[in-house]
Amino acid sequence: MESGERKKMPNVAAAEKTAETNDDRTMPASASACLLLIILLGIGLLVWWSVVFHPDNERLWMVPLSLVMVGTPLIVCLSVYCSCTTSSVVDIPDPDPEK
């Protein structure tokens, strides 16, 4: 191996092969639909609590649950989007270039 070459790990080579064969690296429509449904249910739960139970400050457990139902899918969508736009190839320098 020349000193300028870099060695690639086996799992990185598999990721490169997968990325080459699968050009469409977007989230499937069914996953997007499920995440959207969870977000809408969370918004609905929060609206229901604010209309029915907020005046008496009852059933306060509904507030954090609805915020989790709204926030978690947004974070999942953001992380999937970011992972699809970045490169999955990692070059690891050869620790012993003289071999």
* 65 SS3 class: helix
d(CA 76, CA 39): 11
Adjacent-strand bridge partners of 92: 7
CA dihedral 83, 88, 93, 95 (to 10 degrees): 90
Per-residue confidence (pLDDT) for residue 49, from 0 to 100: 93
d(CA 67, CA 81): 21
> What are the domain boundaries of the chain?
32-89
What number of residues does the chain have? 99
d(CA 84, CA 77): 11
Per-residue confidence (pLDDT) for residue 67, from 0 to 100: 94
Does the pTM of the predicted model rise above 0.75?
no
d(CA 32, CA 4): 43
Residues sharing a CB contact under 8 Å with residue 44, sequence separation 6 or more, in sequence order? none
Question: Could you list the pLDDT tens digit for every one of the 99 residues in the chain?
Answer: 455 555 555 555 555 555 555 445 567 788 888 899 999 999 999 999 999 999 888 999 999 999 999 999 999 888 887 877 665 566 677 777 776
Residue with tokens 């604010």: 50
